[in-house]
Amino acid sequence: MSGHSKWSTIKHKKAALDAKRGKIFTRLIKELTVAARSGGGDVDGNPRLRTAVNAARAANMPQDNIKRAIAKGTGELPGTSYEEVMYEGYGPGGVAVIVETLTDNRMRTTPEIRHVFDKFGGNLAEPNSVAWNFVRKGLVRVPRQAIDEERLLELALEAGAEDLRSGDEHHEISTSQDAFHGVQQALERAGLTPSEATLGLEPQNTVTLEGKKAEQCLKLLEQLEEHEDVQNVYANLAVTDGGLESGAA
């Protein structure tokens, strides 16, 4: 991370603003509903639902809202049926972009996503055109003051984690997709409550942009994030220190 400001870092900082606008609740409710529909309403037996519930709790979502979203997914309550659709494309400078959506109308969402790409100098591409460049990884954040770095490293590695980075406020544990839930459970057994635990896509290589092109690409990614059907946006963008001409980040 040193010397670079990646989209994943910018996105994490932006999450606080999304929470204030209530956007995060909408996304979490959709994920809870789809996770329950696809794997059942038992949190212990449905890893995807367990992750969604933990994320909802971390965002301070009321327990009643969580229960209702799960009940809509299992069919105990009436609710909207969402379809998972993933879009792939390119941003300015050839940056690879993946957009994960949950939509109740693919015929509406697809042209809207295409329009955002076109408006900001990108283009929607065919399936599998950029997905090969991304690997699904787990990220678990633990408050820095909750545990000593050396002790956390020992716990994490024993549970199968790949790496640990410590910042001013959080320890960040990275895992493979397969080890993600095992690491979460190991932390819980040790009495630790992660502030965030997510499965996401990590690029295997990055494209570095500067100046206007970097700003334009960031605007594209931010506008994609703003779309009501979008759950996650991933990109292999890197911006060098001082590479932005204005406050785009």
Q: Which residues pair with 100 in a beta bridge?
A: 86, 232
pLDDT at 248: 39
- Flag residues of the chain having pLDDT under 50: 1-5, 246-249
- Cα(28)–Cα(69) distance, integer angstroms: 9
What pLDDT digit, counting tens, does each position of 81-116 carry? 999 999 999 999 999 999 999 999 999 999 999 999
Residue 194 burial (C-beta neighbours within 10 Å; 0-12, 13-18, 19+): buried
Neighbours of 127 (CB within 10 A): 9
DSSP 241: T
- Cα(168)–Cα(9) distance, integer angstroms: 14
pLDDT at 168: 86
pLDDT at 154: 94
pLDDT at 193: 87
DSSP, collapsed to helix, strand or coil, labels residue 98 as strand
Handedness of CA 15, 16, 17, 20 (dihedral sign): positive
pTM over 0.85: no
Q: Which residue has the tokens 């295997």?
A: 204
